[in-house]
Amino acid sequence: MTGIQPNDRLIAQSSLLLNKLPQDLQDALLESARVIEFDRGTTVFLQGEQARAIYIVAKGWVKLYRISPNGTEAVVGVFTKGRSFGEALAFHNDIYPVSAEAVTYCRLIRIEVSTLLQMIRENHEVALAILAATFTHLHALVAQLEALKARTGSQRVAEFLLDLCDCDKGDCAGGCTVRLPYDKGLIAGRLGMKPESLSRAFGKLKSVGVTVTREDATIADLNALRNFADEDPANAWNKL
């Protein structure tokens, strides 16, 4: 565990958790923050452990997951640079409802729950920032549930690839190549699919100009892929 570096501070300040706070509150919150490095496959915390910190990702990818009574792993979310998780726990001492694991090498900015609780008592702006971050996570979960219910597997994969592109979704043109950020088994779990279903979905996307290798996906026409992702699922099902 090391002190926070200038680049880590910039990432934290631009995160959803802190970017609405005044500079003095950001500085006060980050004064005691620490950076922890995790190798791929390392556990950050386990479901059921006492929650003592929230985290902002400075580098790499982290997955949040739950283990069901029958031992099945359900991926709740995958977070990367600038994303935070665990904010809701700052309002009271509780246990982690999920487990967290580094799926690549990670640098995580750790903020103690006790520090946040003290600042919440002293300044309502901190509480509002945490509520905003929590609401965004809830909105993302609702969107994820909607996608699972209302979109085909191929459409969910198309949306996933589009989210990896560095372009404005409203102005996508031409093509690009994106690096798959983590292994395909985790991608499948994140999208509510089995690995074999993910492979079939990648195959289906060839018809709209997507070629997938082991680590990369080449998209020939971003607009065509966006149109496919947004198509009425009833029509998309007919193509499967």
**pTM of the entire predicted model:** 0.76
- Tens of pLDDT along 53-107? 999 999 999 999 998 888 888 888 889 999 988 877 766 668 898 999 999 999 9
| Predicted confidence band of residue 120 (pLDDT cuts 50, 70, 90) | confident
Residue 237 is classified by DSSP as H
- The better pLDDT of the pair 100, 2 is held by 100
- The better pLDDT of the pair 151, 14 is held by 14
CATH fit for domain 2-148, picks 1.10.760.10, 1.20.1250.20, 3.50.50.60, 2.60.120.10: 2.60.120.10
- The better pLDDT of the pair 84, 140 is held by 84
Mean pLDDT, range 114-121, rounded to an integer: 83
Q: Residue 91: what pLDDT?
A: 65
| Sequence-distant (≥ 6) Cβ neighbours of residue 111 within 8 angstroms | 29, 30, 32, 33, 53, 54, 55, 56
What gap in Å lies between CA 212 and CA 203, rounded to an integer?
Answer: 8
Q: Residue 170: what pLDDT?
A: 46
Q: Does domain 151-239 have CATH number 1.10.10.10?
A: yes
What is the residue extent of each domain of the chain? 2-148, 151-239
Q: Residue 70: what pLDDT?
A: 83
Q: Residue 99: what pLDDT?
A: 94
List residues bridging with 176 in a β-sheet.
Answer: 219
Angle between helix 6-14 and helix 23-31 axes, rounded to 10 deg? 130
What gap in Å lies between CA 186 and CA 167, rounded to an integer?
Answer: 24
In degrees, rounded to 5, the angle at the alpha carbon of residue 138 between the alpha carbons of residues 60 and 185 is: 45
Contact 165, 223 (CB under 8 A): no
User: How many other C-beta atoms are found inside a 10 Å radius of the C-beta of residue 83?
Assistant: 21
- Tens of pLDDT along 141-168? 666 666 566 678 899 899 889 888 865 4
What gap in Å lies between CA 75 and CA 205, rounded to an integer?
Answer: 23
Mean pLDDT, range 200-205, rounded to an integer: 93
